[in-house]
Structures are given as C-alpha cells and as structure tokens.
Amino acid sequence: MRVFINGESKEISGTPSLAELINQLDLPATRIAIELNREVVRRNDWSSTILQDDDRIEIVHFVGGGRGGD
C-alpha cells in the first residue's frame, strides 16, 4: 500500500493503524501530532484508525526549548 507522509510517498505493508505506523517509523508518540487527510486525529483514536491506500499523513514533531526569560 502507498501512503504519503509529510508529502513523500512511502510503501508500507498490510493495513496498519496510525499507532502501528508510528511504531514502524520509531517516532516518539508523546511528542507528535497527526493529521490524516487534512483532519487531526486524536491520540486516543490512533490505534483504531486504519490506513488506506493513498492516505495523506502529516506528522508534526513538538520541539521544546526557546529563549529563556529576560
């Protein structure tokens, strides 16, 4: 099956859930947000959201830091 992750085509096997895809990609689930076909998917729904051919997935990583108080 082919999906698009952050605009790049990727072949994946089977029909994984979003949670399984995150595990396959070795991403830190606590520090990301996911949009599937332009809809934000809540973390609680990742394991029940099954991917389909040509799905478009956007994964955003949260990064800490920034400038300290002045």
Question: For residue range 10-54, what is the model confidence (pLDDT) as tens digits?
Answer: 999 888 999 999 999 999 888 899 999 999 999 999 999 999 999
Is 53 part of any domain?
yes
Q: Is 7 exposed, middle or buried (0-12, 13-18, 19+ CB in 10 A)?
A: exposed
Q: What is the rounded distance in angstroms from the CA atom of residue 68 to the CA atom of residue 38?
A: 34
Q: pLDDT-derived band of residue 65, with 50, 70 and 90 as boundaries?
A: low
Is 66 part of any domain?
no
Is 68 part of any domain?
no
Please state, as a whole number, how many other Cβ atoms lie within 10 Å of the Cβ of residue 36: 19
3-class secondary-structure state, position 53: coil
In the predicted structure, residue 69 carries a pLDDT above the cut 80: no
| Domain membership of residue 19 as a residue range | 2-61
Count of domains observed in the chain: 1
Q: What is the rounded distance in angstroms from the CA atom of residue 36 to the CA atom of residue 25?
A: 16
